[in-house]
Structure 1
């Protein structure tokens, strides 16, 4: 994935003991499907942005930003748009669905407007969407969040391409993994050995979807889901999915996995 350094207007927060201490941002990463750039841009300009302008005027949201990477020389092979909606606190976020239903009825009572009659499923794919919150003392961590996102995407690429050296280097030198039903495995060499697939087995598809990332100083935690497909030696395919918790640590300007725990969802 191309390195993306973007100046975003994201105000971040940390919640302690359930208190509302500041704004919370929901960030969506979207990829255009089938070359339908005009249809996607129209949808977000005429619907997504208009709804949020109205919602902001009515104090339903704190702020928003639509970032078109295709217009900013910030190309990515993994997504084309970054959508940011900021809420002043968890209470405002909790009421978002009801508030947006009201806003949409006010602006477009007959439903969203589409170009060439193409619906969202025709022109967009949500790569993932998650909530961002960080320590109030570090409001300028927007670029750090994107570095973590980049590393999350690259992890899947390393796994599906069987690049086990790169996969091991995604972890700290003293990194640990906690596989389900197994002992703790520590250190890059041991982690690499654990990830190497048996001969004749492949994982052609692997996707990690974070639902929340929180940065606190030089550490961060990342909660979400993973999914994938395994091709066995006999050429049969089996799908898998699960949930995970990762602790990231910043080392030499980059974010590495310090601890990685996961388990499958049946």
Structure 2
């Protein structure tokens, strides 16, 4: 009886974990730095993008995020990879509303040297609705 109960619990734990994993979705952006404006780009992502995601995690609007930096080359002509992961379809579907709320509450963009995002960075590829298996 004890073995049967252990097996049933194990089955439900595994199935719950699998269901949670397959419901996850991510948005991924690959960003190149324009005109040697690395400092402005990094400042922007650390003081805007990252801050918004930290606030989104506290409100359970997203599951996680990653701000990654690599050295660009011919094969990978981007410097930053931005990943936002949503735990489920509801978080993903509500992302625009939730981030608009957080942007409004943030008090506006923080910029270095008064350069706007179009001056210092370009998203060379963005991919939404990336499923986790």
Q: Relative to total residues, which structure has the larger helix share, 1 or 2?
A: 2
Shift of 1:31: 0.2
1:125-148 CA distance string (max 9 Å, x none): 1111113224x3xxxxxxxxxxxx
Segments of 5+ residues of structure 1 without an aligned counterpart are 1-14, 137-266
Q: Relative to total residues, which structure has the larger strand share, 1 or 2?
A: 1
Partner residue in 2 for 1:123: 120
- TM-score, structure 2 normalization: 0.78
Shift of 1:81: 0.1
Shift of 1:21: 4.0
The structure whose RCO (Cα within 8 Å, separation 6+) is larger is: 2
Matches within 5 A, 1:1-266: 21-70=22-71, 75-77=72-74, 78-108=77-107, 111-131=108-128, 132-134=130-132, 136=133
Alpha-carbon RMSD? 2.0
Shift of 1:105: 1.9
Segments of 5+ residues of structure 2 without an aligned counterpart are 1-18
Would you say the 8 A contact 2:64–2:85 is kept in 1? yes
Q: Which whole-Å CA distance do the structure 1 matches of 2:33 and 2:66 have between them?
A: 18
Q: Which whole-Å CA distance do the structure 2 matches of 1:92 and 1:133 have between them?
A: 13
Would you say the 8 A contact 1:69–1:76 is kept in 2? no
> Which structure: larger Rg?
1
- TM-score, structure 1 normalization: 0.40
